[in-house]
Amino acid sequence: METEKSKVEEKLPDKTKHMSEWYDRVLLEAGIIDIRYGVKGFIVYMPYGMMIMKNIIKLYEEELEATGHKPVLFPVVIPEENLKKEAEHITGFESEVFWITHAGKNKLEERLALRPTSETAMYPIYSLWLTSYKDLPFKAYQTVAVYRYETKATRPLLRGREFLWIEAHDVFRTKEEAIRQTLEDKEIFYKVTYEKLGIPFIHVKREEFDKFPGAEDTYAFDTLLPDGKVLQIGTTHYLGQKFSRVFDVKFHDIDGSYKYGEQTCYGIGLSRILASILLIHGDSYGLILPFEIAPIQIVIIPIYKKDYDNEKINRYAREIEEILGEKYRVKLDLSEKTPGEKFYEYDLLGVPYRIEIGKKEVENNVVTIFRRDIRERKTVQLSQLTQYIEITKKEIVEVLRRRAEERLKNSYKGIENLDDLKKHSEEGYSLFEADFCDSEECADELKSITGGFEVRGIFLDKKVEEGSKCIMCGGPAKSRVLIAKAY
Protein backbone atom coordinates (compact mmCIF):
# COMPACT_ATOMS: atom_id res chain seq x y z
CA MET A 1 0.00 0.00 0.00
CA GLU A 2 1.12 3.54 -0.60
CA THR A 3 0.59 6.34 1.86
CA GLU A 4 -1.71 9.08 0.60
CA LYS A 5 -0.31 12.58 0.47
CA SER A 6 -2.56 15.62 0.64
CA LYS A 7 -3.57 17.08 -2.71
CA VAL A 8 -3.79 20.51 -1.08
CA GLU A 9 -1.73 22.14 1.61
CA GLU A 10 -2.69 21.19 5.18
CA LYS A 11 -4.75 24.04 6.57
CA LEU A 12 -5.38 22.92 10.13
CA PRO A 13 -2.97 23.47 13.02
CA ASP A 14 -1.37 20.68 15.00
CA LYS A 15 -4.15 19.50 17.31
CA THR A 16 -1.86 18.48 20.16
CA LYS A 17 -0.13 21.88 20.26
CA HIS A 18 -3.03 24.17 19.37
CA MET A 19 -6.15 22.28 20.41
CA SER A 20 -8.43 25.29 20.84
CA GLU A 21 -7.64 26.71 17.40
CA TRP A 22 -8.01 23.29 15.77
CA TYR A 23 -11.30 22.68 17.54
CA ASP A 24 -12.85 26.05 16.72
CA ARG A 25 -11.99 25.74 13.05
CA VAL A 26 -13.20 22.17 12.69
CA LEU A 27 -16.52 22.90 14.40
CA LEU A 28 -17.29 25.61 11.86
CA GLU A 29 -15.54 24.38 8.70
CA ALA A 30 -16.89 20.83 9.01
CA GLY A 31 -20.38 22.14 9.73
CA ILE A 32 -20.71 20.69 13.23
CA ILE A 33 -22.09 23.65 15.17
CA ASP A 34 -22.52 27.40 14.85
CA ILE A 35 -21.77 29.51 17.93
CA ARG A 36 -23.30 32.73 16.54
CA TYR A 37 -26.74 32.28 18.09
CA GLY A 38 -26.32 35.35 20.25
CA VAL A 39 -26.94 33.89 23.71
CA LYS A 40 -23.84 32.84 25.64
CA GLY A 41 -23.60 29.12 26.20
CA PHE A 42 -26.22 28.22 23.56
CA ILE A 43 -25.23 26.76 20.20
CA VAL A 44 -26.85 25.69 16.94
CA TYR A 45 -26.27 22.14 15.73
CA MET A 46 -25.68 22.34 11.98
CA PRO A 47 -26.94 19.57 9.65
CA TYR A 48 -23.71 17.55 9.51
CA GLY A 49 -23.17 17.80 13.25
CA MET A 50 -26.75 16.81 13.98
CA MET A 51 -26.54 13.81 11.66
CA ILE A 52 -23.49 12.59 13.60
CA MET A 53 -25.35 13.22 16.85
CA LYS A 54 -28.41 11.25 15.73
CA ASN A 55 -26.22 8.29 14.86
CA ILE A 56 -24.56 8.47 18.30
CA ILE A 57 -27.94 8.67 20.02
CA LYS A 58 -29.16 5.61 18.14
CA LEU A 59 -26.29 3.49 19.45
CA TYR A 60 -26.99 4.35 23.09
CA GLU A 61 -30.75 4.05 22.77
CA GLU A 62 -30.42 0.61 21.20
CA GLU A 63 -28.29 -0.59 24.12
CA LEU A 64 -30.63 0.92 26.70
CA GLU A 65 -33.67 -0.73 25.12
CA ALA A 66 -31.81 -4.03 24.83
CA THR A 67 -31.42 -3.95 28.62
CA GLY A 68 -35.10 -3.29 29.29
CA HIS A 69 -35.30 0.50 29.27
CA LYS A 70 -38.39 2.12 27.73
CA PRO A 71 -38.40 5.59 26.13
CA VAL A 72 -40.36 8.41 27.79
CA LEU A 73 -40.53 12.17 27.42
CA PHE A 74 -41.23 14.49 30.34
CA PRO A 75 -41.85 18.25 30.23
CA VAL A 76 -38.94 20.66 30.18
CA VAL A 77 -40.41 22.74 33.05
CA ILE A 78 -40.31 21.67 36.70
CA PRO A 79 -42.43 23.30 39.45
CA GLU A 80 -40.28 25.06 42.03
CA GLU A 81 -42.00 23.04 44.76
CA ASN A 82 -40.78 19.78 43.20
CA LEU A 83 -37.22 20.98 42.77
CA LYS A 84 -36.97 21.99 46.43
CA LYS A 85 -38.27 18.76 47.95
CA GLU A 86 -34.93 16.95 48.12
CA ALA A 87 -32.69 19.21 50.22
CA GLU A 88 -29.27 18.08 48.92
CA HIS A 89 -30.53 18.19 45.34
CA ILE A 90 -31.71 21.80 45.36
CA THR A 91 -28.60 22.91 47.26
CA GLY A 92 -26.47 21.37 44.51
CA PHE A 93 -28.39 22.95 41.63
CA GLU A 94 -29.99 26.19 42.85
CA SER A 95 -27.16 28.41 41.57
CA GLU A 96 -27.43 26.84 38.08
CA VAL A 97 -31.19 26.92 37.51
CA PHE A 98 -32.87 28.96 34.79
CA TRP A 99 -36.19 30.21 36.20
CA ILE A 100 -39.37 31.06 34.29
CA THR A 101 -41.16 33.78 36.18
CA HIS A 102 -43.65 35.21 33.64
CA ALA A 103 -46.03 33.92 30.99
CA GLY A 104 -46.87 36.72 28.61
CA LYS A 105 -47.55 39.76 30.82
CA ASN A 106 -48.59 37.65 33.81
CA LYS A 107 -46.31 36.82 36.69
CA LEU A 108 -46.52 33.13 37.56
CA GLU A 109 -47.76 32.22 41.01
CA GLU A 110 -44.99 29.62 41.22
CA ARG A 111 -41.70 29.79 39.40
CA LEU A 112 -40.88 27.04 36.91
CA ALA A 113 -37.36 25.70 36.45
CA LEU A 114 -35.98 24.73 33.07
CA ARG A 115 -34.89 21.11 33.46
CA PRO A 116 -31.32 20.96 34.92
CA THR A 117 -31.87 17.19 35.38
CA SER A 118 -35.12 15.28 35.69
CA GLU A 119 -35.35 13.49 39.03
CA THR A 120 -37.83 16.03 40.42
CA ALA A 121 -39.83 16.03 37.19
CA MET A 122 -40.14 12.27 36.81
CA TYR A 123 -40.42 10.83 40.30
CA PRO A 124 -43.74 12.46 41.25
CA ILE A 125 -45.23 10.66 38.23
CA TYR A 126 -43.40 7.46 39.13
CA SER A 127 -45.29 7.53 42.44
CA LEU A 128 -48.52 7.27 40.42
CA TRP A 129 -47.28 4.60 38.02
CA LEU A 130 -45.54 2.23 40.42
CA THR A 131 -47.76 0.78 43.13
CA SER A 132 -46.92 -2.93 43.25
CA TYR A 133 -43.82 -5.12 43.18
CA LYS A 134 -45.25 -6.39 39.89
CA ASP A 135 -44.50 -2.97 38.38
CA LEU A 136 -40.79 -3.40 39.15
CA PRO A 137 -38.13 -3.19 37.98
CA PHE A 138 -39.08 -0.05 36.11
CA LYS A 139 -36.46 1.27 33.69
CA ALA A 140 -37.04 4.37 31.56
CA TYR A 141 -34.92 6.87 29.64
CA GLN A 142 -35.34 10.10 27.73
CA THR A 143 -33.12 11.89 25.22
CA VAL A 144 -33.42 15.60 25.86
CA ALA A 145 -31.72 18.96 26.28
CA VAL A 146 -30.99 20.16 29.79
CA TYR A 147 -30.30 23.68 31.01
CA ARG A 148 -27.79 24.87 33.58
CA TYR A 149 -26.61 28.40 34.17
CA GLU A 150 -22.94 27.59 33.81
CA THR A 151 -20.97 30.31 35.60
CA LYS A 152 -17.55 29.18 34.37
CA ALA A 153 -16.26 29.99 30.90
CA THR A 154 -18.46 28.27 28.34
CA ARG A 155 -16.95 26.16 25.56
CA PRO A 156 -18.94 24.70 22.63
CA LEU A 157 -20.07 21.12 23.39
CA LEU A 158 -17.60 20.90 26.29
CA ARG A 159 -19.27 23.27 28.74
CA GLY A 160 -22.52 24.96 27.81
CA ARG A 161 -25.78 26.21 29.26
CA GLU A 162 -27.87 23.98 27.04
CA PHE A 163 -26.62 20.49 26.20
CA LEU A 164 -27.94 17.18 24.96
CA TRP A 165 -27.92 14.02 27.00
CA ILE A 166 -29.70 10.76 27.68
CA GLU A 167 -30.91 10.21 31.21
CA ALA A 168 -32.18 6.89 32.53
CA HIS A 169 -34.18 6.68 35.76
CA ASP A 170 -34.78 3.23 37.24
CA VAL A 171 -36.64 1.82 40.25
CA PHE A 172 -36.04 -1.57 41.92
CA ARG A 173 -37.35 -3.67 44.79
CA THR A 174 -33.95 -4.12 46.44
CA LYS A 175 -30.66 -2.34 46.98
CA GLU A 176 -28.81 -5.25 45.38
CA GLU A 177 -30.76 -4.85 42.14
CA ALA A 178 -30.06 -1.11 42.10
CA ILE A 179 -26.34 -1.61 42.64
CA ARG A 180 -26.30 -4.15 39.79
CA GLN A 181 -27.90 -1.51 37.59
CA THR A 182 -24.96 0.85 38.11
CA LEU A 183 -22.71 -1.95 36.87
CA GLU A 184 -24.98 -2.53 33.88
CA ASP A 185 -24.79 1.21 33.15
CA LYS A 186 -21.02 0.91 33.03
CA GLU A 187 -21.33 -2.03 30.63
CA ILE A 188 -23.65 -0.05 28.33
CA PHE A 189 -21.17 2.81 28.36
CA TYR A 190 -18.34 0.41 27.56
CA LYS A 191 -20.18 -1.23 24.66
CA VAL A 192 -20.97 2.07 22.94
CA THR A 193 -18.36 4.61 24.02
CA TYR A 194 -15.37 2.30 23.99
CA GLU A 195 -16.23 -0.48 21.54
CA LYS A 196 -18.26 1.43 18.93
CA LEU A 197 -16.95 4.98 19.24
CA GLY A 198 -13.34 4.17 20.15
CA ILE A 199 -13.24 6.47 23.19
CA PRO A 200 -11.39 5.01 26.20
CA PHE A 201 -12.50 6.28 29.59
CA ILE A 202 -11.51 6.17 33.24
CA HIS A 203 -14.13 4.79 35.63
CA VAL A 204 -13.96 6.20 39.16
CA LYS A 205 -16.19 6.64 42.19
CA ARG A 206 -16.59 10.30 42.99
CA GLU A 207 -15.58 11.37 46.48
CA GLU A 208 -18.34 12.00 49.03
CA PHE A 209 -17.89 15.77 48.64
CA ASP A 210 -18.07 15.56 44.83
CA LYS A 211 -21.02 13.23 44.23
CA PHE A 212 -24.29 14.06 42.48
CA PRO A 213 -26.57 16.14 44.74
CA GLY A 214 -28.93 13.70 46.45
CA ALA A 215 -27.08 10.52 45.52
CA GLU A 216 -25.72 7.88 47.86
CA ASP A 217 -22.89 7.08 45.43
CA THR A 218 -21.73 8.54 42.11
CA TYR A 219 -19.65 6.73 39.50
CA ALA A 220 -18.13 8.77 36.68
CA PHE A 221 -16.63 8.20 33.25
CA ASP A 222 -13.82 10.62 32.35
CA THR A 223 -11.89 10.72 29.10
CA LEU A 224 -8.60 12.43 28.22
CA LEU A 225 -8.50 15.25 25.66
CA PRO A 226 -5.42 16.24 23.61
CA ASP A 227 -4.61 19.19 25.90
CA GLY A 228 -4.15 16.85 28.87
CA LYS A 229 -7.39 17.74 30.64
CA VAL A 230 -10.07 15.19 31.43
CA LEU A 231 -13.71 15.56 30.49
CA GLN A 232 -16.61 13.91 32.29
CA ILE A 233 -18.73 12.29 29.59
CA GLY A 234 -21.08 10.21 31.70
CA THR A 235 -22.16 9.32 35.24
CA THR A 236 -24.30 6.76 36.98
CA HIS A 237 -25.70 7.20 40.48
CA TYR A 238 -27.05 4.96 43.19
CA LEU A 239 -29.79 7.11 44.75
CA GLY A 240 -30.98 4.61 47.34
CA GLN A 241 -34.29 5.75 48.83
CA LYS A 242 -33.45 9.45 49.13
CA PHE A 243 -35.75 10.51 46.30
CA SER A 244 -38.31 7.71 46.63
CA ARG A 245 -39.06 8.76 50.23
CA VAL A 246 -39.39 12.42 49.26
CA PHE A 247 -41.63 11.73 46.26
CA ASP A 248 -43.49 8.77 47.75
CA VAL A 249 -42.29 6.23 45.19
CA LYS A 250 -43.41 3.17 47.14
CA PHE A 251 -44.89 -0.18 46.26
CA HIS A 252 -46.92 -3.00 47.76
CA ASP A 253 -44.39 -5.82 48.21
CA ILE A 254 -44.81 -9.60 48.08
CA ASP A 255 -45.13 -9.84 51.87
CA GLY A 256 -47.95 -7.28 51.94
CA SER A 257 -45.84 -4.42 53.30
CA TYR A 258 -45.24 -1.06 51.64
CA LYS A 259 -41.64 -0.29 50.73
CA TYR A 260 -39.86 2.61 49.10
CA GLY A 261 -38.17 1.91 45.80
CA GLU A 262 -34.42 1.68 45.41
CA GLN A 263 -33.43 4.05 42.61
CA THR A 264 -30.64 4.77 40.17
CA CYS A 265 -30.11 7.43 37.54
CA TYR A 266 -27.70 7.45 34.62
CA GLY A 267 -26.50 10.38 32.51
CA ILE A 268 -24.89 9.98 29.08
CA GLY A 269 -23.34 13.30 28.04
CA LEU A 270 -24.09 13.36 24.33
CA SER A 271 -22.70 16.83 23.61
CA ARG A 272 -19.44 16.03 25.37
CA ILE A 273 -19.20 12.62 23.72
CA LEU A 274 -19.50 14.29 20.31
CA ALA A 275 -16.74 16.73 21.30
CA SER A 276 -14.57 13.84 22.49
CA ILE A 277 -14.94 11.99 19.18
CA LEU A 278 -13.89 15.07 17.24
CA LEU A 279 -10.98 15.99 19.50
CA ILE A 280 -9.57 12.56 20.29
CA HIS A 281 -9.76 11.00 16.82
CA GLY A 282 -9.24 14.05 14.59
CA ASP A 283 -5.95 15.02 12.92
CA SER A 284 -4.44 17.89 10.97
CA TYR A 285 -6.67 17.06 7.99
CA GLY A 286 -9.91 17.26 10.01
CA LEU A 287 -12.29 14.74 11.51
CA ILE A 288 -11.87 10.97 11.57
CA LEU A 289 -15.23 9.33 12.23
CA PRO A 290 -15.97 5.75 13.23
CA PHE A 291 -17.82 4.04 10.40
CA GLU A 292 -21.07 3.53 12.32
CA ILE A 293 -21.69 7.22 13.04
CA ALA A 294 -20.39 8.82 9.83
CA PRO A 295 -23.20 10.64 7.95
CA ILE A 296 -21.35 9.81 4.72
CA GLN A 297 -19.64 6.45 5.06
CA ILE A 298 -18.31 6.28 1.50
CA VAL A 299 -17.79 9.05 -1.03
CA ILE A 300 -17.24 8.30 -4.74
CA ILE A 301 -15.18 10.81 -6.70
CA PRO A 302 -14.86 10.60 -10.50
CA ILE A 303 -11.49 11.71 -11.87
CA TYR A 304 -11.84 12.78 -15.50
CA LYS A 305 -9.19 12.56 -18.19
CA LYS A 306 -8.77 14.57 -21.38
CA ASP A 307 -9.38 12.74 -24.64
CA TYR A 308 -11.37 10.04 -22.86
CA ASP A 309 -15.09 9.25 -22.80
CA ASN A 310 -15.71 10.54 -19.26
CA GLU A 311 -19.33 9.42 -19.39
CA LYS A 312 -17.92 5.90 -18.99
CA ILE A 313 -16.43 7.08 -15.69
CA ASN A 314 -19.79 8.50 -14.61
CA ARG A 315 -21.63 5.30 -15.52
CA TYR A 316 -19.12 3.19 -13.62
CA ALA A 317 -19.32 5.52 -10.62
CA ARG A 318 -23.15 5.27 -10.64
CA GLU A 319 -22.90 1.49 -10.83
CA ILE A 320 -20.70 1.50 -7.73
CA GLU A 321 -23.07 3.91 -5.99
CA GLU A 322 -25.98 1.56 -6.66
CA ILE A 323 -24.08 -1.49 -5.38
CA LEU A 324 -22.91 0.17 -2.18
CA GLY A 325 -26.02 2.25 -1.58
CA GLU A 326 -28.00 -0.85 -0.62
CA LYS A 327 -25.97 -1.24 2.59
CA TYR A 328 -24.16 2.01 3.30
CA ARG A 329 -24.56 5.78 3.37
CA VAL A 330 -22.95 6.70 0.03
CA LYS A 331 -22.43 9.99 -1.79
CA LEU A 332 -21.43 10.33 -5.44
CA ASP A 333 -19.84 13.75 -5.89
CA LEU A 334 -20.40 14.98 -9.46
CA SER A 335 -19.78 18.63 -8.60
CA GLU A 336 -17.41 20.78 -10.64
CA LYS A 337 -14.83 21.03 -7.86
CA THR A 338 -11.37 19.66 -8.63
CA PRO A 339 -10.45 16.21 -7.27
CA GLY A 340 -8.01 17.88 -4.86
CA GLU A 341 -10.72 20.15 -3.49
CA LYS A 342 -13.00 17.17 -3.01
CA PHE A 343 -10.27 15.16 -1.29
CA TYR A 344 -9.69 18.02 1.14
CA GLU A 345 -13.42 18.44 1.83
CA TYR A 346 -14.11 14.80 2.63
CA ASP A 347 -10.92 14.50 4.67
CA LEU A 348 -12.19 17.44 6.73
CA LEU A 349 -15.58 15.75 7.17
CA GLY A 350 -13.97 12.52 8.30
CA VAL A 351 -15.59 10.29 5.66
CA PRO A 352 -14.20 6.78 6.34
CA TYR A 353 -13.76 5.71 2.70
CA ARG A 354 -13.07 7.61 -0.50
CA ILE A 355 -13.44 5.75 -3.80
CA GLU A 356 -11.59 7.26 -6.75
CA ILE A 357 -12.79 6.36 -10.25
CA GLY A 358 -10.77 7.20 -13.35
CA LYS A 359 -9.84 5.67 -16.69
CA LYS A 360 -7.65 2.95 -15.11
CA GLU A 361 -10.45 1.83 -12.77
CA VAL A 362 -13.07 1.70 -15.53
CA GLU A 363 -10.91 -0.30 -17.93
CA ASN A 364 -9.74 -2.79 -15.30
CA ASN A 365 -13.03 -3.17 -13.42
CA VAL A 366 -11.40 -2.10 -10.15
CA VAL A 367 -11.69 0.76 -7.69
CA THR A 368 -9.06 2.79 -5.87
CA ILE A 369 -10.18 3.11 -2.27
CA PHE A 370 -8.70 5.41 0.35
CA ARG A 371 -9.08 4.79 4.10
CA ARG A 372 -9.29 8.00 6.10
CA ASP A 373 -8.09 6.55 9.42
CA ILE A 374 -4.71 5.26 8.18
CA ARG A 375 -4.50 7.45 5.05
CA GLU A 376 -3.76 4.58 2.71
CA ARG A 377 -4.99 3.84 -0.81
CA LYS A 378 -5.57 0.39 -2.22
CA THR A 379 -6.76 -1.08 -5.50
CA VAL A 380 -9.65 -3.52 -5.06
CA GLN A 381 -11.55 -5.60 -7.61
CA LEU A 382 -15.12 -4.37 -7.97
CA SER A 383 -16.38 -7.87 -7.20
CA GLN A 384 -14.56 -7.77 -3.84
CA LEU A 385 -15.41 -4.19 -2.86
CA THR A 386 -18.30 -4.91 -0.48
CA GLN A 387 -16.34 -7.69 1.20
CA TYR A 388 -13.36 -5.34 1.63
CA ILE A 389 -15.53 -2.71 3.32
CA GLU A 390 -17.25 -5.24 5.56
CA ILE A 391 -13.88 -6.46 6.83
CA THR A 392 -12.07 -3.16 7.18
CA LYS A 393 -14.93 -1.05 8.59
CA LYS A 394 -14.43 -2.92 11.88
CA GLU A 395 -10.73 -2.15 11.77
CA ILE A 396 -11.35 1.61 11.64
CA VAL A 397 -12.72 1.93 15.16
CA GLU A 398 -10.06 -0.51 16.40
CA VAL A 399 -7.35 1.75 14.98
CA LEU A 400 -8.92 4.83 16.56
CA ARG A 401 -9.41 3.12 19.92
CA ARG A 402 -5.83 1.81 19.96
CA ARG A 403 -4.41 5.27 19.28
CA ALA A 404 -6.54 6.86 22.00
CA GLU A 405 -5.70 4.12 24.50
CA GLU A 406 -2.01 4.56 23.86
CA ARG A 407 -2.25 8.30 24.58
CA LEU A 408 -4.20 7.58 27.75
CA LYS A 409 -1.74 4.94 28.93
CA ASN A 410 1.26 7.18 28.29
CA SER A 411 -0.29 10.02 30.30
CA TYR A 412 -0.40 8.11 33.63
CA LYS A 413 2.11 8.43 36.44
CA GLY A 414 2.03 7.33 40.05
CA ILE A 415 3.15 10.02 42.52
CA GLU A 416 3.98 10.18 46.22
CA ASN A 417 4.17 13.94 46.78
CA LEU A 418 3.50 17.31 45.15
CA ASP A 419 7.09 17.60 43.92
CA ASP A 420 6.46 14.45 41.90
CA LEU A 421 3.31 16.00 40.45
CA LYS A 422 5.13 19.17 39.42
CA LYS A 423 8.09 17.28 37.96
CA HIS A 424 6.05 14.78 35.95
CA SER A 425 3.52 17.33 34.71
CA GLU A 426 6.45 19.31 33.27
CA GLU A 427 7.54 16.10 31.55
CA GLY A 428 4.17 15.86 29.82
CA TYR A 429 2.21 13.55 32.12
CA SER A 430 -1.30 14.70 32.94
CA LEU A 431 -2.99 11.85 34.85
CA PHE A 432 -1.72 10.98 38.29
CA GLU A 433 -2.45 8.26 40.83
CA ALA A 434 -1.92 9.01 44.49
CA ASP A 435 -2.94 7.98 47.99
CA PHE A 436 -5.51 10.27 49.56
CA CYS A 437 -7.33 10.73 52.86
CA ASP A 438 -10.70 11.49 51.18
CA SER A 439 -11.16 14.87 52.89
CA GLU A 440 -12.64 17.85 51.08
CA GLU A 441 -10.15 20.17 52.78
CA CYS A 442 -7.19 18.34 51.28
CA ALA A 443 -8.89 18.25 47.87
CA ASP A 444 -9.46 22.02 47.95
CA GLU A 445 -5.89 22.68 49.01
CA LEU A 446 -4.54 20.44 46.25
CA LYS A 447 -6.47 22.31 43.58
CA SER A 448 -5.47 25.69 44.99
CA ILE A 449 -1.72 25.14 45.21
CA THR A 450 -1.27 23.13 41.99
CA GLY A 451 -3.05 25.49 39.63
CA GLY A 452 -6.07 23.32 38.91
CA PHE A 453 -5.11 19.70 39.51
CA GLU A 454 -8.02 18.10 41.35
CA VAL A 455 -9.12 14.81 42.82
CA ARG A 456 -11.38 13.24 40.20
CA GLY A 457 -12.37 10.14 42.13
CA ILE A 458 -11.45 6.81 43.67
CA PHE A 459 -10.12 3.89 41.65
CA LEU A 460 -12.40 0.99 42.51
CA ASP A 461 -9.87 -1.66 41.52
CA LYS A 462 -6.87 -0.21 43.38
CA LYS A 463 -6.32 -0.41 47.12
CA VAL A 464 -3.99 1.59 49.33
CA GLU A 465 -1.20 -0.30 51.02
CA GLU A 466 -1.10 -0.50 54.80
CA GLY A 467 0.60 2.54 56.26
CA SER A 468 0.10 4.70 53.15
CA LYS A 469 -0.13 8.45 53.72
CA CYS A 470 -2.28 11.11 52.10
CA ILE A 471 -0.40 13.07 49.45
CA MET A 472 -1.56 16.33 51.05
CA CYS A 473 -1.84 16.12 54.84
CA GLY A 474 0.30 13.08 55.51
CA GLY A 475 -2.50 11.43 57.45
CA PRO A 476 -3.66 7.85 56.89
CA ALA A 477 -4.70 7.29 53.28
CA LYS A 478 -8.08 5.74 52.60
CA SER A 479 -8.16 5.58 48.80
CA ARG A 480 -6.09 5.48 45.65
CA VAL A 481 -7.34 8.41 43.58
CA LEU A 482 -7.11 9.97 40.13
CA ILE A 483 -5.68 13.50 40.01
CA ALA A 484 -6.01 15.59 36.84
CA LYS A 485 -7.05 18.94 35.46
CA ALA A 486 -10.62 18.96 34.19
CA TYR A 487 -13.12 20.89 32.10
The pLDDT, as a whole number, for residue 217 is 98
89 & 56 share domain: yes
Q: What is the mean pLDDT of residues 439-453?
A: 97
Task: Please give the model's pTM, rounded to 2 decimal places.
Answer: 0.95
207 & 330 share domain: no
198 & 303 share domain: no
168 & 239 share domain: yes
Mean pLDDT of the chain: 95
What angle do the packed helices 270-281 and 385-409 form, to 10 degrees? 90
Is 401 contained in some domain?
A: no
Single-letter residue type at 376? E
Q: What is the mean pLDDT of residues 138-159?
A: 92
Instruction: Say which residues have a Cβ less than 8 Å from residue 345's Cβ, sequence separation at least 6.
Output: 337
Higher pLDDT, 346 or 463: 346
Mind spelling out the 3-state secondary structure of 56-106? HHHHHHHHHHHCCCEECCCCCEEEHHHHCCCHHHHHHHHHHCCEEEEECCE
pLDDT tens digits for range 2-46: 444 444 445 799 998 999 999 999 999 999 999 999 999 999 999
253 & 199 share domain: yes
456 & 367 share domain: no
Is 227 contained in some domain?
A: yes
256 & 339 share domain: no
Is 404 contained in some domain?
A: no
The pLDDT, as a whole number, for residue 128 is 98
421 & 380 share domain: no
135 & 30 share domain: yes
Q: How do strand 412-414 and strand 431-436 relate by DSSP bridges?
A: parallel
The pLDDT, as a whole number, for residue 290 is 98
- Specify which residues 12 forms β-bridges with: none
Is 287 contained in some domain?
A: no
How many structural domains does the chain have?
A: 3
197 & 310 share domain: no
The four Cα atoms 385, 388, 390, 391 give a dihedral, to 10 degrees, of 170
CATH number at residue 421: 3.30.110.30
Q: Look at residues 359, 345, 378, 346 and name the one whose alpha carbon lies nearest to residue 314.
A: 359
CATH number at residue 365: 3.40.50.800
- Specify which residues 258 forms β-bridges with: 252
What is the residue range of 266's domain?
Answer: 20-281
Is 402 contained in some domain?
A: no
120 & 192 share domain: yes
The four Cα atoms 254, 256, 260, 261 give a dihedral, to 10 degrees, of 20
Last-in-domain residue among 360, 392, 424: 392
Is 66 contained in some domain?
A: yes
Q: Residue 174 in 3-state DSSP? A: coil
Is 89 contained in some domain?
A: yes
Q: What is the mean pLDDT of residues 255-259?
A: 95
Last-in-domain residue among 236, 251, 281: 281
pLDDT tens digits for range 276-291: 999 999 999 999 999 9
Is 290 contained in some domain?
A: no
109 & 252 share domain: yes
Last-in-domain residue among 392, 421, 455: 392
